[in-house]
A and B are shown apart, each in its own frame.
Chain A
């Protein structure tokens, strides 16, 4: 495992994502470190504090993991559930969010795709194939999804309109 600070391009990608979910201000004074596997193909973005950063930069030891993995850097930044949770709690929640009904909450939390009638509210101007954070009625992140339709078509009844990519239930499935 290699740990390093993001370079300029990587930082730009991350910032773009933070801005996308209205969480740029919250992360302004936070330390982000990249965890790269030996092939450098998988790049995980980790939130750490200054003490952990100091330890890493001293370079004497190689940890198995550090801080909180808030997402992965691919062509774009894909948030993890832990990252989505921070964005939803501390971000402005004005763009790229979808709120689902209480009835749908449980199903979505365990990975089910979302039917149009399960959506209570969607951020304005969502396009097709857009990465979104799925919230319950208490505005807590329960999953990350991708839209199959745009605008009001997301609310059409009887059709799956958002595909769930990652869900909070994965903690339970993977933990054991």
Chain B
């Protein structure tokens, strides 16, 4: 059940200043560092990032080509990813984009793939895979070897994913029009499983400001229930010693730490592994206390990390 906190003068002022429903702001005040800075950052368009598709080109060559067209790029913590600091025209309107030399993808989303520690030749399950940004990144890290099983139940989204896979020259992937819960039918075990779970999308309010007021506590409850079912299935698909990465683009602890905490409590053989980037996960929310390992999960805030809002937990299944 989504936790609602009592309103205060501060929550009333901030929600009036930035146009949010107050229940949402009063929650942010409980766990987001520097809420005013955070809400202010959400008012401006997020930094755009591109990921070089090394299946088709290499970073130096692409950067040079884009610079000749007037783009300015800055390196990031992920070697294949660059921040676009100046774009003379739409980043998706270049020939290089059409030819699949890069993919427009947020840095946080690339860090989720980085957390998988993927190696060529592995078997990978990508749950809720469309539109395929993370899938294509995994394929390039695997150099088109091994196998990626990508699940996407929605026909329109699955179709859109095929175009992205084709544009990026991916041929180690097989797409299945099914959901995570039915994935157990495969009876396959995977070295790596990525569950980028459907969520309430609080983290992308900067891209879609309507969520400031259209988003409800019931959305969080609904997503949280689905996420719990999905992660239960996903964890059973991991080989012993394998890694499951769980991510969402939501700030809500009910969709993040709470889901992971329940999983870790139910399965004695799962550990939350540390990661290099982002802020530590919450160990307390309202009157709820999570296990210490949750510190190893990672939160990404727009005003601190210059990404969209994101949560990542890297889980080792022993």
CA distance A32 to B2 in the complex (A): 51
Determine whether A165 belongs to the interface, using a CB cutoff of 8 Å to chain B: no
**Which residue in B95, B123, B158, B160 is a CB contact (below 8 Å) of A64?**
B158
Tell me the count of chain A residues lying within 8 A, CB to CB, of chain B: 36
Assess the B173–A82 pair: CB atoms within 8 A: no
**Chain B residues, Cβ within 8 Å of A55:** 147, 174
Of A10-18, A150-158, A167-175, the one contacting chain B is A167-175
A residues near B158, Cβ cutoff 8 Å: 64-65
* Residues of B in contact, count (CB < 8 Å): 34
Instruction: With A51-B172, A105-B95 as known contacts, state yes or no: A174 contacts B163, CB within 8 Å.
Output: yes
Taking the complex as formed, is A160 at the interface, i.e. its CB lies under 8 A from any CB of chain B?
A: no
B92 lies within 8 A of chain A by Cβ: yes
* Contact B176–A61 (Cβ < 8 Å): yes
CB neighbours of B211 from chain A (8 A) = none
Q: Is B170 an interface residue (CB 8 A)?
A: yes
Q: Is B162 an interface residue (CB 8 A)?
A: yes
A73 at the interface (CB under 8 A from B): no
Contact of A171 among B146, B167, B170, B187 (CB under 8 A): B167
Provide the residues of chain A in CB contact with B187, threshold 8 Å: 60
B169 touching A66, Cβ below 8 Å? no
- Is there an interface contact between B145 and A49, defined as CB atoms closer than 8 Å? yes
CB contacts (< 8 Å) of A52 on chain B: these are: 147, 171-174
- State whether A67 touches B163 (Cβ < 8 A): no
Closest to A176 in B: B160
In the complex, are the beta carbons of B176 and A64 less than 8 A apart?
A: yes
B177 within 8 A of A: yes
Is residue A122 within 8 Å, beta carbon to beta carbon, of the partner chain? no
B99→A67 contact, CB < 8 A: no
For residue B304, CB closer than 8 A to chain A, the reply is no
Do A51 and B147 contact each other (CB < 8 Å), given the known contacts A63-B174, A68-B169?
Answer: yes
**Complex CA distance for A47 and B164, rounded to whole angstroms:** 16
Contact string, A70-97, partner B, CB cutoff 8 A, digits 1/0? 0000000000111001100100000000
Q: Is the CB of B165 within 8 A of A175?
A: no
Does chain B have a CB within 8 A of A117?
Answer: no
A172 to B99, CA, bound (A): 11
Q: Are B99 and A85 in contact (CB under 8 A)?
A: yes
B16 interfacial contact with A, CB 8 Å: no
Would you give 25 A-B contacts (Cβ < 8 Å), ordered by A?
Answer: A49-B146, A51-B146, A52-B174, A55-B147, A55-B174, A61-B176, A63-B175, A64-B158, A65-B174, A66-B174, A66-B175, A67-B172, A68-B169, A68-B170, A80-B166, A89-B56, A136-B95, A140-B99, A142-B99, A171-B98, A171-B163, A171-B166, A175-B163, A175-B167, A176-B160
A141-B99, A142-B99 known, 12 other contacts, Cβ within 8 Å: A46-B171, A51-B146, A52-B172, A61-B186, A65-B175, A66-B175, A80-B166, A142-B95, A168-B98, A168-B99, A169-B98, A171-B100
